[in-house]
């Protein structure tokens, strides 16, 4: 949907996912983990199968967005792809079907995650990363045709969106072979924040806060759009640093709480010539079979 709602929904979904991944990355760095640990849903909801929150979000949000592409606003039906009444048999609802294809690959990535995580003994993290990378490659490919027949301003803003999309695809491809590499986690988190935040810039173009719409025939507006993209990159980096700082505070507070609430052990002061010590040594030797 080429509307405010059509960009706001995926923007919110990507932002939630990026914030979630940034928190996981921050906690993994603070705990010096060798791999990211994705929280799983309670087993009572899925029986003996394990399903992560990440996989569930990948399926639910794109599914809802796909339904909206077909039937929003109410009374609209975009299920038809070809106009059979026209002798030329043209494709119709091009933009909607491009969005639906993008959402479909995200759903596919979530399903692959669920199938892989359902069998912990045979889980393939590389397969999960490979399908996630494929999703972003498809996103870039479809975006290349999605900008056709649009104004120069819309083309510029979507081209700038393609940059973090392609870099995310490359980073996730590298993560497929280097899953335990913290710099890759940080870079993926930052690019995800850039991508999701720039989606909100697209929403701002539909409802500008200044009340003055962006002008496609203005070189100044085109230049400022690129400047804003650079600002969004810096803003996303600052947001990740803030998330890391909050996680650091929580981690230090949680660690100190564990130390104070846990059992305390004190070394027993025993003299070297104590009879009790000699008796314990003798019992230990007997138990080991030493004469």
- pLDDT tens for residues 137-192? 999 999 888 888 788 888 888 899 999 999 999 999 999 988 888 999 999 999 99
Residues 153, 4 contacting (CB under 8 angstroms): no
Q: Quick check: 291 pLDDT over 50?
A: no
Q: Quick check: 272 pLDDT over 50?
A: no
Domain of 236?
4-248
Exposed, middle or buried, 131 (CB in 10 Å: 0-12/13-18/19+)? buried
Structural domain includes residue 69: yes
CA distance 25 to 171: 15
pTM of the model: 0.80
Structural domain includes residue 275: no
Structural domain includes residue 218: yes
The pLDDT mean for the chain works out to 82
Confidence of residue 238 (pLDDT cuts 50, 70, 90): very high
The residue that leads in pLDDT, 119 or 20, is 20
CA distance 25 to 22: 5
Confidence of residue 2 (pLDDT cuts 50, 70, 90): low
**Structural domain tally of the chain?**
1
Residues 228, 201 contacting (CB under 8 angstroms): yes
Residue 232 — φ and ψ, nearest 5°?
-65, -35
Q: Quick check: 287 pLDDT over 60?
A: no
Contacts 24+ apart (CB under 8 A), 37-45: 40/117
Hey, what are 29's tokens?
């760095």
CA distance 152 to 239: 30
Structural domain includes residue 257: no
Structural domain includes residue 123: yes
Structural domain includes residue 276: no
């Amino acid at each position: 949907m080429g509307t405010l709602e059509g960009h706001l929904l995926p923007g919110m979904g990507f932002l939630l996912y990026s914030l979630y991944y940034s928190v996981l990355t921050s906690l993994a760095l603070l705990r010096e983990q060798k791999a990211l640990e994705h929280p799983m849903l309670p087993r009572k909801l899925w029986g003996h199968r394990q399903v992560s929150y990440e996989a569930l979000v990948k399926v639910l949000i794109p599914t809802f967005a796909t339904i909206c592409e077909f039937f929003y606003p109410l009374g609209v039906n975009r299920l038809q792809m070809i106009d059979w009444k026209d002798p030329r048999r043209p494709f119709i609802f091009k933009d909607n079907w491009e969005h639906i294809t993008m959402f479909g690959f995200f759903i596919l990535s979530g399903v692959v995650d669920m199938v892989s995580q359902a069998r912990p003994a045979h889980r393939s993290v590389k397969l999960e990363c490979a399908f996630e990378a494929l999703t972003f490659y498809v996103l870039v490919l479809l975006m290349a045709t999605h900008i056709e027949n649009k104004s120069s301003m819309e083309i510029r803003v979507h081209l700038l969106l393609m940059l973090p999309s392609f870099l995310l695809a490359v980073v996730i491809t590298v993560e497929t072979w280097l899953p335990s590499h913290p710099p890759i986690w940080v870079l993926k988190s930052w690019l995800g924040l850039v991508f999701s935040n720039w989606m909100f810039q697209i929403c701002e173009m539909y409802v500008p806060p200044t009340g003055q719409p962006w002008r496609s025939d203005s070189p100044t507006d085109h230049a400022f759009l690129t400047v804003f993209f650079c600002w969004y990159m810096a803003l996303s980096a600052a947001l990740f640093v803030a998330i890391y700082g909050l996680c650091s505070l929580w981690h230090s507070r949680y660690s100190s709480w564990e130390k104070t609430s846990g059992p305390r052990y004190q070394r027993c002061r025993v003299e070297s010539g104590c009879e009790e010590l000699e008796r314990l040594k003798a019992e230990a030797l007997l138990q080991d079979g030493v004469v």
